[in-house]
Amino acid sequence: MRSTNKLDRWSPPLTRQRSLADVGPATGSVWIVRHGERVDVVNPDWLVTAERPHDPPLTEFGCAQAAATGEYLLGLGDRVDFVYTSPFLRCVQTASAIARGLGGVPLRVEPGLCEWLNSDWFEANDNPMDAEMGTSKLKRVADTLGVRIDTSYRPLFDSAGRAVASRASKAAAGETSYQREVAFPESSDEAIGRYTTTLAHLRELTPHAVLVTHGYGVWRMSEWLVAHEITEDCGYCSATRVRRFRNLRGEEPWRCDVLAYDAHLDTLEQTGVVAPLGVRAKG
């Protein structure tokens, strides 16, 4: 059965008890969502013949989880201008399902949301952030899933290999590239810095958005938001929300009011299909 630990199941009231004289509508609402169930966790044999073993897709159940998450977010009525996603396939699939559920919100690919590129998960000479994760290929994937990728978006981060090529191209054209590089291999501190920098940047760039990332990213960004250690798992398609309001004294700081919520997936279990939760250690 799925985990029922307090983090997976806990969500504070979506509406705080505030006086209407003190606060107006939310001026920002950003959701952080983990991707759905990945195929290699359920079927390890998939790795034997996989062309890209480091980039597994979702299972059918994972696709259903993602679709349910899109429906859940639509039902809440929060404004969403863009869905930002890690370039890993499982996240693009999850983000696409959420975008469809929200009525066709466009996607933006942000490498700053990618998996933690640590040496225990990836071979030293096999950078998963290669040309195969370029926007052109992901656009084709998104097209088959019925959503649109905003190709005009300039990401905050890029992979080391593509960033070097980008700098060389821009230098030849007399331009300057200001993109940050995703280190490979990447230490835990580097990954934490990347995730929190990306979150801080995106919530100011697009105050009404959904960010789709990996288990480690959700975990570390959630810790940063609530300012204390989180020891429980952040399950597949769990959703965390950070919002800000404007009051009579001006704009309030961002506050986390929903943490790793996944009760919207309960109806999937009622069909008799049970999906094992992935562990936080690899997302």
**Taking the complete model, does pTM exceed 0.85, yes or no?**
no
- Mean pLDDT of each 10-residue bin along the chain, 283 residues long: 34 34 73 97 93 91 95 96 96 96 95 92 74 68 86 84 44 51 89 95 96 96 86 86 84 87 86 47 49
Asked if 34 and 58 count as a contact pair (C-beta separation under 8 A), the reply is no
Number of domains in the chain: 1
Q: How many CB atoms lie within 10 A of CB 249?
A: 7
User: CA 185, CA 168: separation in Å to the nearest integer?
Assistant: 22
CATH number for the domain that contains residue 238: 3.40.50.1240
**Is residue 282 in a domain?**
no
**Is residue 277 in a domain?**
no
**Is residue 276 in a domain?**
no
**Is residue 252 in a domain?**
yes
pLDDT for 141 equals: 79
**Tokens describing residue 76:** 């809440």
pLDDT for 79 equals: 96
